[in-house]
Amino acid sequence: MKVFLDDVREVSDIYRDARGWVIARDIKIVIPLLEKGLVTVLSLDGDMEKIGDKDIPGGVELCDWMRMSRKWPTQQVLVHSSNPVKRYLMEMVIDQHFVATEGFTEC
C-alpha cells in the first residue's frame, strides 16, 4: 500500500498519478500499517497543523519512530515537504537508515 502523510494536501497536488494512494492525516494511522508490514511506499510531509499551541507529529517524528522501531516501508520513502529544514532532517534519517526490502516501483 502507498501511504501519503499530509494534513491538508491531496495526493494529486504532489503526484501526477494519484491512483492507489491512501491518505493519512495523522501518524497514528501510519504506525499500525508500518508495524504490520503493509506499507510499500510512504510519502512524507514535515509540517502538520497545530491544535491550539500543540504541534501535531509529522514526517520528522515518523522518521524518528521508523528509525527506532526499524519498521520501514518495503520499497521507498519519499519526502514531499516544502519546509527545507524538515525535509533535510527526514532525508538524513532516510538516507542513513532505510533499506528497501522489495523491488522499487515507479510512483
Instruction: Identify the band that residue 72 occupies on the pLDDT scale cut at 50, 70 and 90.
Output: very high
Residue 44 and residue 5 in contact, taking contact as beta carbons nearer than 8 Å: yes
Whole-number Cα distances in Å, 20 to 1, 23, 53, 79: 7, 10, 34, 18
Taking the alpha carbons of 92, 46, 22, 78 in that order, is the dihedral positive or negative?
negative
Asked if residue 52 has pLDDT above 80, the reply is no
- Across residues 64-80, what is the average pLDDT? 97
pTM, 2 dp: 0.90
Count Cα neighbours of 18 within 13 Å in the Cβ-side half-sphere.
7
Share of the chain above pLDDT 90, in %: 80
- Band (pLDDT 50/70/90 cuts) for residue 4 is very high
If you average pLDDT over residues 39-52, what whole number do you get? 86
